[in-house]
Amino acid sequence: MTRPSDVPQELRDELTATGLDLDHVWDVLRRALSEDLPDHRADDPTSSSTIPPDARGEAVFAAREPGVVAGLGVAAVAFVMVGADATISDRLPDGTRVERGDVVMRVAGLTQRLLVAERTALNLACHLSGIASATARWVEALDGSPTRVLDTRKTLPGLRALQKYAVRCGGGVNHRTSLQDMAMVKDNHVIAAGGALPALEAIRGRHPGLPVEVEVTTLDQLEELLALPGPPERILLDNMSDELMTEAVRRTAGRVPLEASGGITLERAGRIGATGVDFVSVGALTHSVVVFDIGMDLVDGPGTSA
């Protein structure tokens, strides 16, 4: 395998500009490829037996359904990693809306190595495009309202940075990436601390300046927080009806951003947006995503010898 320094500078700069860390992307790809080639001293027996090692070909990545693509830059790195001597062309920017049949990327290089990286590249591109497409559906459903769709920490272990990147590609907004980005007082913390207010006070005493979000389930709890000289930086309205959320927005009057969570479905998006809440958090964007269908097909067979 090659090294991160072998990734073309333009692609490295692009990943950095999108908030992705090349070393992290490299590690994800390395672990994924090791699942296909657990013995790093050996190669793919199918490709190595049927295709000359110096044969070159071109593969086309095409969308098989409408949606939003993401992770194509990550997929491109996979071909660098396996030493495909690849040239990437016609790659659409992540976040592009596509239709069925659209070409999203072309890869030319050593055919054997293209096929070694194929599944890893597709697994990540299809997964991340699925997240971006699902997020875009939420953005569209909330269009015309003040409500923005948020992701959560309900992500696949080890893939959080990539999944949250895909949410951004779909037009969504990232919630906290880690426990340390924002304190979030939920029901278990309330029970353990003896109440929401003691929990809020303890966090601010120990971590001054750290944003705090507090969960409420009733309007009385909301009023209690709003009455504080320094209310939390965000309030989570948990499992509230549309009517209760509308009243919560009226009572808050813009003093604190409000986030809706719990029992959230895409069919309900329009009604949630109509309540006027600032955010709606949707765990399903990342924990229950349906992959987006992208295919990779060789256009010239095994290719010609170099």
Q: Which residues are catalytic?
A: 119, 154, 186, 215, 238
Q: How many CA atoms lie within 13 A of 52 on its CB side?
A: 10
Instruction: Answer for the pair 145, 120: CB distance below 8 angstroms, yes or no.
Output: no
Which three-class secondary structure state does DSSP give residue 253?
coil
Tokens of 264: 């959230």
Dist CA 144 CA 150 (whole Å): 17
Tokens of 157: 């272990």
Dist CA 235 CA 258 (whole Å): 5
- Selection from 101, 28, 96 nearest residue 61 by Cα: 101
Dist CA 160 CA 11 (whole Å): 21
Dist CA 83 CA 110 (whole Å): 8
